[in-house]
């Protein structure tokens, strides 16, 4: 299934209520009855739109990923940025979006872990999209003579693996916001320097 699925206004309201509740209380402590109460409808009506709490979680993840990739794609398409700036901004945006998702006492790391384990196909599609963005930026950098050479597919995969700390909410909590941003800037500098 594509990440860019369309939702009705009722489904959008259900997803927003579920996301808010899961962020505050966690996935396991959120019930369909509570989500239904938050959107002022019966649990049976919620089940008309989503077959399970897990289906709601997956839809929330798909919407989040689509928003993240839209923001990252704007960086790639910006003709006013050099490839070097695009790569740096890609890494910093990835870190910032993850930080925003996990601000305060958010329980989104639990949800992210459940999604990764339950929907490996979603994770594989996400990895491919990240690798496609990285490849696009690196090709542009080689064409403009900012970077020395294109990387092989296995090197692109390794490049992406180095950035996963900025992608997963449960790793974000290991650092303060300042430390996380500082690490993202240092990783960006190291990778860019290695490409030149």
Percentage of residues of the chain with pLDDT beyond 70: 94
31: left (phi over 0), alpha (psi -120 to 50) or beta: beta
Q: What is the dotted CATH code of the domain comprising 63-195?
A: 1.10.357.10
Q: Where are the domains of the chain?
A: 63-195
Q: What angle do CA 174, 179, 185 make, to 5 degrees?
A: 120
CB 67 within 8 A of CB 32: no
133: which residues sit within 8 A by CB, 6+ positions away? Answer: 69, 72, 73, 76, 90
Tell me the mean pLDDT in the region 58-74.
90
72: which residues sit within 8 A by CB, 6+ positions away? Answer: 90, 93, 94, 133
- Model-level pTM? 0.83
Helix spans in the chain (H):
9-25, 32-38, 43-49, 53-77, 83-101, 108-118, 120-143, 153-163, 169-172, 177-195
Question: How confident is residue 4, by pLDDT bands cut at 50, 70 and 90?
Answer: very low
Place of tokens 């960086």: 75
- Asked if pLDDT for residue 70 goes beyond 80, the answer is yes
Tell me the mean pLDDT in the region 58-68.
88
The number of residues making up the chain comes to 196
Rg of the chain on CA atoms, in Å: 19
pLDDT at 1: 39
Interatomic CA distance for residues 50 and 19, integer angstroms: 14
Question: How confident is residue 133, by pLDDT bands cut at 50, 70 and 90?
Answer: very high
Question: How confident is residue 191, by pLDDT bands cut at 50, 70 and 90?
Answer: very high
Tell me the mean pLDDT in the region 103-132.
85
42: left (phi over 0), alpha (psi -120 to 50) or beta: beta
Please write the tens of the pLDDT for every residue from 7-55. Answer: 688 899 999 999 889 888 889 999 999 999 999 999 999 999 999 999 9
């Amino acid at each position: 299934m594509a990440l860019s699925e369309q939702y009705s206004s009722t489904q959008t309201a259900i997803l927003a209520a579920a996301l808010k509740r899961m962020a505050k209380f966690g996935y396991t402590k959120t019930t369909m009855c509570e989500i239904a109460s938050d959107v002022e409808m019966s649990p049976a009506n919620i089940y008309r739109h989503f077959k399970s709490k897990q289906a709601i979680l997956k839809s929330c993840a798909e919407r989040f990923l689509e928003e993240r990739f839209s923001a990252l794609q704007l960086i790639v398409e910006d003709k006013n940025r050099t490839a070097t700036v695009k790569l740096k901004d890609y890494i910093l945006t990835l870190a910032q979006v993850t930080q925003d998702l996990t601000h305060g006492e958010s329980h989104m790391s639990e949800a992210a872990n459940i999604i990764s384990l339950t929907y490996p196909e979603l994770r594989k599609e996400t990895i491919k999209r990240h690798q496609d963005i990285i490849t696009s930026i690196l090709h542009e950098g080689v064409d403009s003579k900012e970077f020395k050479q294109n990387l092989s597919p296995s090197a692109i995969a390794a490049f992406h693996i180095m950035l996963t700390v900025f992608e997963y909410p449960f790793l974000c909590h290991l650092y303060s916001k300042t430390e996380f941003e500082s690490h993202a800037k240092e990783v960006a500098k190291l990778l860019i320097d290695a490409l030149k």
